[in-house]
Structure 1
Amino acid sequence: MRLTLDDDWAATVTDDPLHSTPRFDFPGQCVRIAEYADVTEWQRFLVQTFGSREWLWDAPDELRFDQAGRELVGAGFRLPYEAADAEDSARVPAVPPVHPGGLRADAARDFRLKVTTELCRAPGDAVLTCLRDLDVLDEPLEARIGIAPDVALLVQHGTIVGWSLTDPARYLTTGFAAPDPAPPAPTTRLLLTECLDLITTPLLDEVRRRDPAALARLRELDHSLRSQREDRHRADALLSLIGNLVEDYADRPTGQQP
């Protein structure tokens, strides 16, 4: 299969997916797939690869390719803050199944991969599906390319129209840190759902307006995360963002801007 991105930029699907463990950087609200472990290694990685990347005020999603073989060697995707309603989320098709594969760029030059705008959440947040727009749901998907463990690109009409992360709780972390290799605690999965409720629309808008009920829910979630004794690495990843929201909206006097 051949995919077209950014008008005239194209890549061919291969049989070689990435084997790196995804990192769901919760405070950064992004999913990274690469081997770099800190900022220095990340900057070196960008110099040694080409593709779509952040540049000044522009922050597209990222697909990075090796200069020599033009093979996909890393990716980064940002979660949308716009959450689709349950009715639209239920329309996300279950087929076709994920087929593991990588990408090989037709040419060694940069391009731009637009960020997705709609977050579709499966029951229990077992899968997060991020789409270019909800119009994608009006037609069948052509393919799901599993570029890394539990991460797939969604293809329609030969174009990438979204991506998905299965079992997001497993990959919770902060920054460049590797996720805890142990399975997530059941409590963590429940807390992830509560966190996703609060950091996406429409509840996020209520928090920003300082709606009393929304702020009470935010404070209660903050307390639950601080009190959790097990699975601390993942709980701390969730708390990194929720704690900031508490500081900006629940603890700051009314009238002060965060």
Structure 2
Amino acid sequence: MSITIDDNWTATVTDDPLHITPRFDFRDFRVRIATYTNVEERGRFLLVTFGSEPWLWDTPDELRFDQAGRELVGAEFQIPGVEAADAEDSARVPATPLVHPGGLRADQAQDFRLEATTELCRAPGDAVLTCLRDLDVLDEPLEARIGIAPDVALLVQHGTVAGWSLTDPVRYLTTGFAAPDPSPPYPSTRRLLTECLDLITTPLLYEVRNRNPAALARLRALDEALRNQPEDRHRADALLSLIANLVEDYADRPTGRQP
């Protein structure tokens, strides 16, 4: 199967998916599938691979390929940081076709641009996060789901990459380049992830930024729940890395009004 990623740039689906555990960096709201563990290693990785990468103010999603064999060796995806699709649209995300594990081999060794997705669809309980180029994708069936790494799939429609998905995102929560906790997540952490996503992907975030007292009270309660989570600390701290910043920016600063 051949798929188009950027205009006339194409790749062929192989039988060799990446065996790299995804990292859901909650603070930066992105998913990394790569072996580098810091900024320096990432820089070296970009120098010896080709594909889609950031350049100055341009921040597309990333697919990186080996120079010699043109095989996919890493990826970074941004989760759309705007308001998530409503429940009605999210429910239209098709369940088929099922994920078929596979890698990619670039048909030509040259750089391209993979446009970042614009729409986030949340499955019930945030069991799956699906990121689409636009909601028009939901009007027609998908042709394929290519599982390029554990629980990460590219969505293909009309022969073109139309988005991607992360299944069981709570399992892969982390911060920065750190590896996620290999142990199963606690049910309480799953609930806390949903509460965090409810806060940052709905109009509630605008209420926080406008310092609505009820919204700030909810933010503080979530911050306290994350700090007092007795288990699954690595994942709780990953969620806290973003929530604590919101508390500092909006709940701890004075508004400038006199009592």
Partner of 2:159: 158
Return the letter of the residue paired with 1:112.
R
More displaced stretch, 135-144 vs 245-254: 245-254
**CA displacement 1:141-166 (0-9 Å, x = unmatched):** 01000000000000000111110000
Q: Which whole-Å CA distance do the structure 2 matches of 1:219 and 1:130 have between them? A: 29
User: 5 Å matches for 1:81-92?
Assistant: 81=81, 82-92=83-93
More displaced stretch, 203-212 vs 52-61: 203-212
Q: Which whole-Å CA distance do the structure 1 matches of 2:175 and 2:188 have between them? A: 19
Q: Which whole-Å CA distance do the structure 2 matches of 1:246 and 1:217 have between them? A: 10
Report the 3-state secondary structure (helix = DSSP H, G, I; strand = E; otherwise coil) of the residue aligned with 1:135. Answer: helix
Identity %: 81
Partner of 2:49: 49
More displaced stretch, 245-254 vs 120-129: 245-254
**CA displacement 1:68-105 (0-9 Å, x = unmatched):** 00000000001112300000000000000000001110
Return the letter of the residue paired with 2:241.
S
Partner of 2:20: 20
Q: Which whole-Å CA distance do the structure 1 matches of 2:137 and 2:49 have between them? A: 30
User: 5 Å matches for 1:1-258?
Assistant: 1-81=1-81, 82-254=83-255
Q: Following TM superposition, by how much is the alpha carbon of 1:201 offset from its aligned partner in structure 2, in angstroms?
A: 2.9
Report the 3-state secondary structure (helix = DSSP H, G, I; strand = E; otherwise coil) of the residue aligned with 1:182. Answer: coil
**CA displacement 1:111-170 (0-9 Å, x = unmatched):** 110111111001100000011110000000010000000000000001111100000000
* Unaligned stretches of 5+ residues in structure 1: none
Q: Following TM superposition, by how much is the alpha carbon of 1:213 offset from its aligned partner in structure 2, in angstroms?
A: 1.4
Report the 3-state secondary structure (helix = DSSP H, G, I; strand = E; otherwise coil) of the residue aligned with 1:129. Answer: strand
CA RMSD of the aligned region, Å? 1.0
Moved beyond 3 Å, runs of 4+: none
Q: Following TM superposition, by how much is the alpha carbon of 1:255 offset from its aligned partner in structure 2, in angstroms?
A: 5.3
Q: TM-score, normalised by structure 1?
A: 0.97
Report the 3-state secondary structure (helix = DSSP H, G, I; strand = E; otherwise coil) of the residue aligned with 2:42. Answer: helix
Return the letter of the residue paired with 1:22.
P
Q: Following TM superposition, by how much is the alpha carbon of 1:15 offset from its aligned partner in structure 2, in angstroms?
A: 0.7
Report the 3-state secondary structure (helix = DSSP H, G, I; strand = E; otherwise coil) of the residue aligned with 2:84. Answer: coil
Return the letter of the residue paired with 2:157.
Q
Q: Which whole-Å CA distance do the structure 1 matches of 2:140 and 2:192 have between them? A: 33
Q: Which whole-Å CA distance do the structure 1 matches of 2:255 and 2:143 have between them? A: 50
Q: Following TM superposition, by how much is the alpha carbon of 1:54 offset from its aligned partner in structure 2, in angstroms?
A: 1.0
Return the letter of the residue paired with 1:145.
I
Q: Which whole-Å CA distance do the structure 2 matches of 1:112 and 1:207 have between them? A: 35
Q: Which whole-Å CA distance do the structure 1 matches of 2:40 and 2:210 have between them? A: 39
Return the letter of the residue paired with 2:30.
C
State how many pairs are aligned: 256
Q: Which whole-Å CA distance do the structure 1 matches of 2:206 and 2:16 have between them? A: 42
Q: Which whole-Å CA distance do the structure 1 matches of 2:100 and 2:225 have between them? A: 38
**CA displacement 1:6-43 (0-9 Å, x = unmatched):** 21111111111000000000101000001111111111
Q: Which whole-Å CA distance do the structure 2 matches of 1:234 and 1:255 have between them? A: 35
Return the letter of the residue paired with 2:59.
A
Q: Which whole-Å CA distance do the structure 1 matches of 2:204 and 2:157 have between them? A: 31
Q: Which whole-Å CA distance do the structure 1 matches of 2:163 and 2:256 have between them? A: 38
